[in-house]
Amino acid sequence: MPIYQYWNSQINVISRKDMDSFFIHHVLHALSIAKVQEFQPGTTILDVGTGGGFPGIPLAIMFPEVIFHLIDSIGKKIKVVSAVKKELGLKNVESYYDRMENFDHKVDFIVCRAVAPLEILMGWVENKVSNQHKNDIKNGFICLKGGDLKEELHGYPQAKVFSLSDFFSESFFETKKIVYLPIA
């Protein structure tokens, strides 16, 4: 995607050596969330620590009738998100240069890409999830993670883990997982 190539040359949003694998490592990885939940129109989603807009931007393109709130505490990353939003004409994306603790809306789902350990993330997001359900699964937290999650998930018996290697054959996905944790 040319807009990401441009911004990545200005600001290191994605590892420069990873740009050759941009679509698999970032876009397809973000879209893998749709393998777990196909969001209904009107659903609201908060992307915590969005960085350059992942997973939020690809999901917003896939689900144009879903409202996405992308938040990051690093201003230059939100600058990229805002530029991408404008370039692509995304009307369903709002971006916030702020800390998660200051976000004062309720949403249906919170998504992220391994921003912090689950225990820390849950402290940030638990009171941000609405108890009004619109989708097939209960409102909650959907996180893209990698590696061995056994210890991290120890205190969350209700968590469901989906191996992305069940959906994709590329070697990148061998250790990648989606963690879904109902909250509301």
Burial 80-95 (b: 16+ CB within 10 A, else e): bbbbbbeeeebebbbb
The domain 2-182 is placed in CATH, from the list 3.40.1390.20, 3.40.50.150, 3.30.465.10, 3.40.50.300, at 3.40.50.150
pLDDT at position 17, please? 66
How many residues are there in the chain? Answer: 184
Is the entire prediction scored with pTM above 0.85?
yes
pLDDT tens digits for 56-99? 999 999 999 999 999 999 999 999 999 999 999 999 999 999 99
Question: How many H-runs (helices) and E-runs (strands) does the chain carry?
Answer: 6, 7
Q: What is the three-class DSSP state of 99? A: coil
Q: Which residues pair with 68 in a beta bridge?
A: 45, 93
Q: Is 90 exceeded by the pLDDT of residue 169?
A: yes
* Rounded mean pLDDT, 10-38: 83
Question: Please, are residues 29 and 144 in contact by the beta-carbon 8 Å criterion?
Answer: yes
pLDDT tens digits for 138-163? 999 999 999 899 999 998 999 999 99
The residue among 123 and 5 whose pLDDT is bigger is 123
pLDDT at position 122, please? 85
